[in-house]
Every structure is written in C-alpha cells, then in structure tokens.
C-alpha cells in the first residue's frame, strides 16, 4: 500500500488558558479508577464538521470564537489545563493546576480530501493521524489535554483531541466537549448544572483496597531498575497491525431489531433463562465479535473486554457530571467453535448478559487484575471503547452536528469503537481497524449476517 498524502501545514501553535484569575491553584489526587490508566495510551478522537468557507473566513471569523469559548470552558474544566505529576512527597499521582497553565492548541491546514477522510469506507489508518495532536510525556510530567483544529478550505474542518486516560473517561470527555460547544454556540460563559463538572474524590470509596494494590503494581521496577521507585509517567504505545485500514460500519434501528429477533428465535428453541440483556450495546458488540471470529478463526479472539459506568451504581451514587474515571471492566469468554457456529450470536449475547449480571451483583469483582489485563496478557484480547450512549452527534459548536466522529486510538488498542449514528435514527456506528484483506472479508460477513431471516 502506497503511503498516503497526509501532510498538513501548521498555521499556528498557541496555548489557551482559563481567563486570568478565574481559577485558583489546585491539585486532584487520582482515585483507583484513574490509576488503572496512568500508563495507558491517550484517548484520541477526531470530529469532522462541514464548513464551506475560505481559509481567510476560518481564521478571521471562526478561530477567535473557538479560542475564546475554549478559555471560558476551561475555567470550569480547569484540571484539563493542568498536568499529571507524581511528586516525591506524594503517595500517589495527582493532577496539578497552577496559575498560568494552559492547553496546547495547534491550528493547521490540509489540502487532503475532506470527504474521503470523513467517509465510512476503508482507508489507510495513517491518513487520520496528522489530524490529532501529539500529547507529550516525560517521566515526571504529562499534560492532560492537547487540541488541534485543521481547516480544509471551502469544505470543512476537523477537531482533534488527545486526552490522558488517567484524568478522564469517555463520559467526562464527552461532557467537556459538549460544554465547550454550548459556550461557543451561545457565547455565554455560564453552564447549566447539567454540564458543571463535579470533582470531589472523597465520594469515591475503596472497600476492596484497590488503590493500595494498584500503587504497588505501578511502583514495581521496570527494565534495569532494582528499587521500588518507579514513579514514571511514561507509557508505551503498541504498534498498529501491518497494512491496516480503518472503516466504519453502520447498524440501523431495523438492523438491531433484526439481530434481536435472531437471538430470541435461538433462545426460544433452547428455552434460555435467565433473561438476556438485548440492548443495542450488547447486540452490536456481540455481532461484531462473531463476525471477527468468522473472518479468521485462527486468531482465536475468544475473549472480549468491555467497561460499564459506575456513577449511578455506587453507594451513595455520585453525580453523572463527575469528571474523572469511574468504570469497571469485564472479560467474557467463548469457545471459538461456538462463536463461529450457527448459535454464535446467541452464545455471545449470553456471555455478555452473564457479565452484566455479575457487575450488577458485585462490580468490584475482577478489578484486582486490571494491570495484568493491560500489560501482562499475551493472548489476543479484543474490546470496545466509547459508547453509543455518549451521543457525540449531538455536539454542535454553532455550525451544525459533526459529519463524522472517529476514535483514532483504536488502531493501538486492538478494539472497536461504538457511537451513536449521525443519522440520529436510533442506529449505531462501529469503528474498526484491521488488516486490509481481513477488512474485506469482515465487511462481507457483516453485511451478509444482517440478511439472515429476512
């Protein structure tokens, strides 16, 4: 595959801070939910918006409003302008914001095809990499957030986001972007209570003493180190698969209902109990998992990892506006011969349903193995990032909803992404990165499987 023409021209490198004197110095200790992700790869997203105006109009009319609204938003989301650090005197890492801290914002121009980059069809993964900013890191300091706006003159622009996962989860990121869009659209710096972030870590309880366990794992020496003093914030980014392409697959509401009927028919024959979780999330993840295993059974992708938000499940529950990580995860298993067989979808849904019931019974189960899952597992482990419930296609900076949203970091995570549909009809969009030949086989299986029973 020939290397793509993905060059961009940087127009401006700037930094955006909260308004002067609007925020006092503060520090936020990481909770055990955050510590899991201290050395994870950044969360990288790119939003594409149609904007049929010239570069001059973009620079003169668009940028000042975008920068000003970002500054106003950061006075509420000030930890995002800070840095992760692990001071010698601190038992655990913290997010530190001091007066003058700011967010890196890159302004760039691209002469590439806007419609090609924002399309659903398979394309080289490297074509989108230039649209997301680099999030620098050292042993001792790591910025929380970096942003990039790239204009495609007379066609549109993209908003690239790189966020340190130890500071936020998907819900926190989406609420920040929606708050920024709301302020940009209205010009009003105030936020409704639905958007105001909540930071109080004292509400996070740790009955399983996971924080102590995670800190012990983080402090373990690596490489030539011989002492338990590993306070490094560095992380290693896995390599993407060779000859990889990125594609988006859609499931309409009718497609999802068809999958639900397939499962119910199979379960009626087997008198399945207890009741299954036949949500859009479960049906979509199960269907993609089945199709992937049928694409190449030799890869034995018989394990799937997913996360569940715990804000409403905690006792007492914490506000949905809590800004930080608040997730638990589960790994489900199935035999390859079962997954690729006629009953594969129903078997996958049953596995998801059992894991969800386990979360509802005791959501701390298995969390003590969080680090081995990330860094020590050697067998293939596929999973899902993002969620259709985050409603990214509702975001509007004043120029309409995105024409496309992609989770760029799945190329390093060996995972699928899941979002709501830009068509806003109750469907979903699945992002996937695979070897080019595998993607062609998967696309055929994905489309053909939806016709079963029709």
**Distances in whole angstroms, Cα of residue 371 to Cα of each of 144, 214, 236, 375:** 21, 8, 14, 6
Q: Are strands 141-143 and 83-85 parallel, antiparallel or unpaired?
A: antiparallel
Contact 416, 291 (CB under 8 A): no
Query: Using alpha carbons only, what angle is made at residue 37 by residues 32 and 43, rounded to the nearest 5 degrees?
Result: 140
Report residue 352 as tokens. 């998801």
What are the φ/ψ torsions at residue 437 (nearest 5 degrees)? -65, -40
Please tell me which residue in 34, 165, 169, 420 is annotated as part of the active site. 165
Before 274, cis peptide (omega within 30)? yes
Sign of dihedral through CA atoms 178, 384, 121, 257?
negative
Q: Which of 325, 94, 137 is nearest to 236 (CA)?
A: 137
* Residues in contact with 221: Cβ distance below 8 Å, sequence separation at least 6, in sequence order: 227, 228, 229, 230
Contact 347, 191 (CB under 8 A): no
What are the φ/ψ torsions at residue 328 (nearest 5 degrees)? -120, 160
Active site residue 134: no
**Distances in whole angstroms, Cα of residue 303 to Cα of each of 192, 239, 371:** 41, 20, 17
Active site residue 165: yes
First to last CA, the chain: 37
Cα–Cα distance, 378 to 374 (Å, whole number): 10
Please tell me which residue in 113, 206, 296, 396 is annotated as part of the active site. 396
Q: Which of 370, 413, 389 is nearest to 44 (CA)?
A: 413
Q: Which of 78, 86, 93 is nearest to 145 (CA)?
A: 78
Cα–Cα distance, 336 to 338 (Å, whole number): 5
Cα–Cα distance, 29 to 6 (Å, whole number): 39
205's enclosing H/E stretch is none
* DSSP letter string, 278-320: --HHHHHHHHHHHHHHHH-GGG---EEEEEEE-TTTSSS---T
* DSSP letter string, 35-84: HTTTTSPPEEEEEEEE--S-HHHIIIIIHHHHHHHHHHHHTTSGGGGSEE
Cite the active site residues: 165, 396
């Amino acid at each position: 595959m020939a290397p793509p023409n993905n060059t961009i021209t940087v127009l401006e490198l700037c930094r955006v801070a909260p308004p002067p004197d609007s925020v006092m110095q503060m520090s936020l200790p990481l909770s055990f939910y955050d510590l899991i992700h201290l050395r994870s790869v950044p969360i990288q997203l790119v939003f594409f918006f149609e904007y049929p105006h010239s570069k001059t109009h973009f620079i003169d009319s668009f940028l000042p409003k975008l920068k000003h609204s970002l500054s106003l938003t950061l006075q509420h989301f000030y930890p995002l302008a800070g840095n992760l650090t692990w001071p010698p005197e601190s038992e655990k890492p913290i997010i530190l914001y001091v007066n003058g801290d700011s967010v890196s914002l890159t302004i760039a121009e691209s002469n590439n095809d806007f419609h090609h980059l924002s399309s659903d069809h398979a394309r080289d993964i490297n074509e989108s990499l230039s649209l997301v900013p680099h999030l620098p890191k050292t042993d001792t300091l790591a910025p929380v957030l970096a942003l990039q706006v790239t204009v495609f003159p007379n066609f549109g622009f993209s908003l690239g986001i790189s966020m340190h996962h130890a500071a936020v989860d998907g819900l926190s990121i989406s609420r920040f972007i929606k708050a920024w869009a709301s302020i940009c659209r209205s010009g009003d710096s105030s936020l409704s209570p639905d958007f105001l972030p909540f930071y109080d870590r004292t509400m996070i309880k740790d009955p399983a003493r996971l924080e102590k366990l995670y800190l012990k794992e983080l402090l373990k020496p690596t490489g030539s180190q011989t002492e338990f003093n590993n306070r490094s914030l560095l992380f290693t980014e896995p390599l993407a698969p060779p000859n990889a392409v990125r594609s988006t697959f859609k499931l309409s509401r009718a497609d999802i209902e068809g999958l639900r009927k397939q499962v119910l028919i199979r379960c009626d024959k087997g008198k399945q109990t207890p009741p299954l979780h036949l949500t859009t999330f479960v049906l979509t993840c199960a269907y993609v998992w089945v199709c992937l295993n049928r694409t190449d059974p030799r890869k034995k992708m018989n394990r799937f990892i997913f996360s569940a938000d715990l804000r409403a499940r905690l006792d007492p529950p914490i506000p949905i506006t809590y800004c930080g990580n608040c997730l638990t995860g589960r790994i489900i298993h199935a035999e390859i011969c079962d997954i690729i067989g006629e009953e594969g979808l129903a078997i996958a849904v049953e596995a998801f349903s059992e894991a969800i019931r386990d979360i509802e019974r005791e959501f701390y189960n298995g969390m003590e193995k969080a680090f081995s899952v990330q860094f020590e597992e050697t067998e293939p482990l596929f999973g899902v990032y993002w969620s259709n419930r985050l409603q990214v296609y509702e975001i509007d900076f004043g120029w309409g909803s995105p024409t496309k949203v992609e989770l760029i970091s799945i190329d390093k995570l060996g995972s699928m992404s899941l979002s709501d549909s830009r068509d806003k009809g109750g469907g979903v969009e699945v992002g996937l990165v695979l070897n080019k030949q595998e993607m062609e086989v998967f696309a055929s299986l994905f489309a053909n499987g939806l016709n079963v029973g029709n």
